[in-house]
Structure 1
Amino acid sequence: MAILFGYLLLCFLVSAGFFIVFRASRSRRLRLPPGGLGLPFVGETLQLIAAYKTENPEPFIDERVNRYGPIFTTHVFGEPTVFSTDPETNRFILQNEGKLFEGSYPGSISNLLGKHSLVLMKGSLHKRMHSLTMSFGNSTIIRDHLLVDIDRLVRFTMDSWTDRILLMEEAKKITFDLTVKQLMSYDPGEWTESLRKEYVLVIEGFFSIPLPIFSPTYRRAIKARTKVAEALSLVVRQRRAKYEAGERKNDMLGALLAGEDNFSDEQIVDFLLALLVAGYETTSTIMTLAVKFLTETPLALAQLKEEHDGIRAKKSEAEALQWSDYKSMPFTQCVVNETLRVANIISGVFRRASTDIHIKGYTIPKGWKVFASFRAVHLDHEHFKDARSFNPWRWQNNSGAGSPGYVFTPFGGGTRLCPGYELARVMLSVFLHHMVTRFSWVPTEEDKLVFFPTTRTQKRYPIKVQRRDIFSQIKSKTRDQS
């Protein structure tokens, strides 16, 4: 046994030696970006994951940028990868989607979303479907149709709040209910809540090993994905029958059924499933973190309350927000921008080089992955003064904000710009309006941010809420002033 172990160890060391020599030779020949690929086969994946499981993942990139510069080579998730923390290079990557770069996602995500999801579509089909998705979240649609649903669903969820809540869970209910309404015209109920619980399991499997036999998390995610697909398939079949009978609905499913592409039920299910994930996870996290950052910045919270108390004072207690109200929230938009910048729900995007690419004096070999890091740019002191502090005032009159425009990319860019970016901003603004005008709150315990496998708070941000009688406060303030 000892001889066998020694033989295996010798083979490993020889293989590792050849790997290191070959790697160094290839690097010199191609002029790869500088960097270190870490251990053979494992690379630097463990260091990356360990950093992102903490509240401060910056040192992983900071140390390499200080040593190698804003573009460096590493080896993560089984592949050599070029990291870019340079906004110009990130812009080049985003703008050349489908030309020099193509989307690349871990197998676990691809399998769980489905082969017909928007994130995996390419070419003209992706262009058509991306445009269709954006058409259901543009300012006109939000103003004329969705704003009333957003206001109603936020109120509906907040009406049930008593004493202590987990804010992230409550925010997820709001975003999921709105997305289901937008996609399939379903109002909140037992069916939507049951579907949401299965979605939680699907998302947990995104960054697991895509082998059910080795990963219980992935195994649970696959089972949950099957349940979600079955539930959505039933909805699609029922709606298709009604559509063929002449019944029409103005939602995403209705547009897919009426389209010229003649999508199969499987294609529609994959498409809807992925959009539900996108609308559910990211926006709810932004809502939670906005409240967390404001709570930790009392002056900003006070100014936000003043802005929204002024809006609510002109309306009755039950009156819904109008588009003109949304447009009269200048400081709220500063808070939204700063939350997006500091939180970095999408920390960056992976792409794969379709050919050898020459940029900034380096070569990215064909087939290599690249990672355009938005987080590194947003938290760079060269672009934003005191970049790692929450400071919504930096956005007033555009002072202190990064320039040029492509420095701030919370929703990505290029042909894969997040199609729901405008809807997310409106949802967050409406949520904050009702949060600050209806409640005061205090965290019940310390809660830290982590960024792997997704950005979230460790304890789902538990808070104790107390209802505000804003109209009595306004009357009292008016009497005092007079």
Structure 2
Amino acid sequence: MAMAMAVLWAAVVVLITILALFLRKWRNQGNDVKGLPKGCVGLPWVGETMEFMSYFSTSDPEPFVNKRVAKYGKVFKSHLFGKPTIISADAEFNKFVMQNDQKLFNMGYPTSFTEILGTYDMLMVNGELHKKMRGYAMTFLNSKKLQDYLLNDIDSYALLVLSTWKGRVVNVQDEARAYTFRVVAKQLISLGPGEACDSLMKEYYHLLNGIFSLPLKIPGSTYAKAVQDLLATVFSNETRPEDRMTNEQIMDYFLGLLSAGHISTATVLVYAIAFLTDSPKALNQLRKSEVCFPGTCVSVRPTGLIYSFHNKLERLLMLMSGPELQEENLAIKSNLKGQRLSWNDYKNSMPFTLDVIYETLRLTNISHGLYRTPIEDIKYQGYTIPKGWTVLAYSRAVHLDGVIYEDPLAFNPLRWKTMSPTINNFVVFGGGPRQCAGYELAKLEIAMFLHHLVTKFSWAPVEQDRKVYFPIVRMIKGLPIVVKDLKLPLS
């Protein structure tokens, strides 16, 4: 009996020793690398993943990174999604990562992302395959194609959606997704609005909810027909053999374009409307921008966002040319005299509309960051980034950095009158060879929808709503609003 107890205690001691050695090795992983950023790797196997995800299930994911930046600096180590990870909240470091994509870094998204998006989603692939896929996307999404072929469709689809809004409670999130889905379906497979398009959208959202293969295996289904359309029109026999893609690659590519082409844009549109709902002065300026300067008298009411920025706003307005800001959407509508919006209206007559879009993009942060994997050990800014680790260029932190943006949590489109959306401080569309191919389409869709919305309607929230960031950025209740005809005050 005594011997058995001794053996048992010996086994316990050995087990504890092994566990202690394992924990020590886990906590010290990479510490033999000179220049490795400071940080914590969290629990064995799990790392800090659970804490990271828990914050993204709330309306405020910032504390995860902010606490670590305060303790370790803007570049620190962690362990996320099963891999040792370097997280950067530093704008210059993130710029370096993007500019060296496919040179020093390859794509490095977690396995779980790949399983959801597909192995051959354009976001996941590297090298020549990515260049080929992006080239195909650019044939759809370049400015000339938008101007010559899609502009009128976008205008029509925006009016079609808004034609049903007056006098009822609207779920903005659902309506925005329907609008942007119709645009991308027309762009990709020449499928106009109607029952077939709505059926495709319904099956697509079934797919997103976890039914990954069923819609694709039903002969004659809308989804199957859409894929056949894609095969026939985009990757036809006229395509050079070396440029053709396999069916699996086409499927992932198609699903990726559907997702990137409408969910992200719809989300930004929802948040733009949400921010404008809470910012009546910004909404007023979006409709009509006129202002009095000190010492001059331009006959209308003052506008602009007042977030205790009175002095800053006054200085800003004095820097702008002329005594009067350019009138925006109501002036455009008046000049159209019943005609359609033109490319020139979008590019040259909507400066504040674009500022609203930029500010919404900055605050919304559809993608929290970019995941990359170093091809080799990399030294930068005194840090060593080990080969095979994950690098998370955390763009949220850059967009909400108080050093770059004054009062960074405030919705203040006027900040873009003196700032430029450059890769140093504004990476909502990525950068380098992986910059979003559809960024111009997204801005165009949002600008045209906002133009028609703010010149036709007024609206008010039905109930309080809040945003969450997991699994995607969204409003919990879909942003319900009640819509009425716009009644302008007499001038």
Q: TM-score range by the shorter chain?
A: 0.7 to 0.9
TM score, norm. by length of structure 2? 0.83
- Where do residues 283-322 of structure 1 align in structure 2 (5 Å cutoff)? 283-306=265-288, 307-317=328-338, 319-322=339-342
Mapped partners of 1:133, 1:178: distance in 2 = 15
> Using the alignment, how far apart are the partners of 1:134 and 1:305 within structure 2?
33
Once the two structures are superposed, residues 31-89 of structure 1 have per-residue CA deviations (whole angstroms, 9 ceiling, x without a partner) of: 32100111111111111111111111111111100100010011111221110111111
CA distance in 2, matches of 1:147, 1:13: 68
Letter in 2 for 1:19: F
State how 1:59-138 maps to structure 2 within 5 Å.
59-138=63-142
Q: Partner residue of 1:450?
A: 468
Aligned partners of 1:256 and 1:263 also within 8 Å: no
Q: Which residue identity lines up with residue 99 of structure 1 in the other structure?
A: K
**Among residues 445, 452, 473, which one is paired with 1:434 in the alignment?**
452
1:234 paired residue among 225, 240, 260: 225
Q: Is the 8 A contact 1:232 1:269 kept in 2?
A: no
- Which residue matches 2:32? 29
Pair 1:154-2:158 in alignment: yes
* Greater per-residue helix proportion: 1
- In structure 2, C-alpha distance between the alignment counterparts of 1:423 and 1:294, rounded to whole Å: 22
- Identify the residue that residue 381 of structure 1 maps to in structure 2: 402
Q: Which runs of 5+ in 2 are unaligned?
A: 289-327
Q: Return the offset for 1:258.
A: 3.7
- Cα distance in 1 for residues equivalent to 2:16 and 2:465: 44
Contact kept, 8 Å, 1:199 with 1:225, in 2: the verdict is no
Shift of 1:268: 2.6
Find the aligned partners of 2:482 and 2:394 in 1 and give their Cα distance: 36
1:306-351, CA deviations, whole angstroms, 9 ceiling, x for partnerless residues?
Answer: 221111112234x321112112011111111101111111111111
Q: Cα distance, 1:284 vs. partner?
A: 0.1
Question: For this pair of structures, how many residues does the alignment match?
Answer: 441
* Cα RMSD, aligned residues only: 2.7
Deviation of 1:352 after TM superposition, in Å, equals: 1.5
- Going from structure 1 to structure 2, the CA distance change for 1:66 and 1:230 (only over 3 Å counts) comes to farther
Separation in 1 of the partners of 2:219 and 2:371?
A: 27
Equivalent AA in structure 2 for residue 309 of structure 1: L
Residue 9 and residue 279 in structure 1: after superposition, are their counterparts in 2 closer, same or farther (change >3 A)? Answer: farther
2:300 pairs with 1:280? no
Counterpart contact for 1:229–1:269, Cα < 8 Å? no
Q: Percent identity?
A: 39
Q: Are 2:411 and 1:390 equivalent residues in the alignment?
A: yes
**1:40 and 2:44 matched:** yes
* 1:133 to partner: Cα distance: 1.0
Larger radius of gyration: 2
TM-score normalised per structure 1? 0.85
- Rounded Cα–Cα distance in structure 2 between residues aligned with 1:433 and 1:8: 74
For 1:279, what is the secondary structure of its paired residue?
helix
Quickly say closer, same or farther: Cα 1:410–1:239, change in 2 above 3 A.
Answer: closer
Aligned-pair CA distance for 1:12: 7.7
SS in 2 for 1:180: helix
Distance 1:44 1:171 in 2: 35
Tell me the residue number matched to 1:259: 239
- Please report how far the alpha carbon of residue 231 of structure 1 lies from its aligned counterpart in structure 2 after TM superposition: 4.4
**1:325 pairs with one of 345, 350, 363:** 345
User: In the TM superposition, what whole-angstrom CA distance separates every residue of 1:232-261 from its partner, at most 9, and x where no partner exists?
Assistant: 443444676xx6xxxxxxxxx436664222
Contact in 1 for aligned 2:268/2:361 (Cα 8 Å): yes
Q: 1:41 to 1:405 in 2, by over 3 A?
A: closer
